[in-house]
């Protein structure tokens, strides 16, 4: 199967530099990249300084972050497939704001730009044991197992919200 993951990510220098922090927007699948860029532009238009903290992430880096207590996930998820990014909110032009409550505007922006927010994982009315406030992805949770197993990869025009509606997943 030919897709962004096999054609770009697996062949990239980032995939062979396992502990590096990748902020390269070109490492996002084209549809995801366009959505993330539009979300950042929209946030900026509304007075929020939002910047890319990380796009692609290797399993080695995920393991490192897990052992440092910076993530609850031991296994790399959507970051390793080019369909997720961490976006940081900056205050006063330089200070990164890690406080979750300040990211609540991400939920509406993600819905608008057809992204899944790590705040509510596309299901705002469900209880969530894990919130990743600065995380966005273009794949709903119910599609992740197929993505990770190599059985499915989103096309550039993929709409996770519409997919959730078609499948009867109660979401945004």
Is 56 among the domain residues?
yes
pLDDT of residue 85: 97
pTM: 0.92
Domain of residue 161: give its range. 4-167
CB contact at 8 A, 18 and 61: yes
Is 151 among the domain residues?
yes
Distances from the Cα of 17 to the Cα of 33, 60, 61, 152, angstroms = 21, 9, 9, 25
Closest by Cα among 52, 58, 54, 53 to 9: 58
Angle of the 105-112 helix axis to the 30-45 helix axis, nearest 10: 130
Is 112 among the domain residues?
yes
pLDDT of residue 1: 56
| Separation of alpha carbons 157 and 30, rounded Å | 9
- For residue 29, what are the contacts with CB-CB under 8 A and spacing of at least 6? 4, 5, 81, 82, 83, 138, 153, 154, 156
pLDDT of residue 27: 97
pLDDT of residue 171: 63
Tokens standing for 151?
């059985």
Is 157 among the domain residues?
yes
User: How many domains would you assign to the chain?
Assistant: 1
Q: What is the CATH number of the domain that holds 153?
A: 3.30.1380.10
Is 14 among the domain residues?
yes
> Can you list the residues of the chain whose pLDDT is less than 50?
none
Is 172 among the domain residues?
no
pLDDT in tens, 83-93: 999 999 998 87
């Amino acid at each position: 199967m030919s897709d962004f993951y096999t054609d770009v990510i697996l062949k990239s220098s980032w995939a062979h530099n396992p502990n590096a922090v990748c902020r390269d927007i070109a490492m996002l699948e084209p549809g995801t990249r366009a959505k993330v860029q539009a979300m950042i532009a929209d946030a900026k238009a509304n007075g929020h300084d939002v910047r890319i903290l990380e796009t692609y992430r290797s399993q080695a880096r995920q393991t490192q972050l897990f052992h440092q207590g910076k993530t609850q996930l031991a296994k790399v998820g959507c970051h390793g497939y080019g369909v997720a990014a961490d976006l940081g909110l900056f205050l006063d032009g330089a200070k990164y704001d890690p406080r979750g409550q300040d990211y609540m505007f991400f939920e509406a922006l993600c819905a608008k730009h057809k992204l899944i927010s790590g705040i509510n994982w596309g299901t705002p009315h469900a209880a969530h044991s894990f919130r990743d406030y600065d995380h966005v992805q273009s794949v709903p949770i119910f599609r992740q197992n197929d993505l990770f197993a190599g059985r499915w990869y989103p096309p550039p025009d993929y709409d996770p919200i519409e997919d959730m509606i078609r499948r009867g997943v109660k979401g945004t």
